[in-house]
Amino acid sequence: MAISFNNIPSDVRVPLFYAEMDNSAANSASASMRRLIVAQVNDDVSGPELGSLVLVPSVALAKNIGG
């Protein structure tokens, strides 16, 4: 029984183990996970963000706080 590969040619006559990985049926869902990022803040940050944990819902706010 012949096995067809997508990237390995069928006329290869060298005795070796050939394998291909096909991730077309793999899980492509993205998980929305929270992350804890501990970093320094900009020198011009003032207010409630300084010295406390802050939920950052956007990239713009993260750039404003952390640079």
In the chain, domain spans: 33-66
The residues, any chain, with a CB within 8 Å of residue 48's CB and separated by 6 or more, are 54
pLDDT of residue 1: 60
Mean pLDDT of 29-38: 75
CA atoms of 41 and 65, how far apart (whole Å): 6
Structure tokens belonging to residue 7 = 């990237």
- Band of pLDDT at residue 59, cut at 50, 70 and 90: confident
Residue in this structure with the two tokens 């011009």, named with its chain if needed: 44
User: 6 or 56: which carries more pLDDT confidence?
Assistant: 56
Residue type, 42: N
Yes or no: say if 42 and 63 are a contact pair by the CB < 8 Å rule. Answer: no
pLDDT of residue 57: 86
> Has this prediction a pTM greater than 0.85?
no
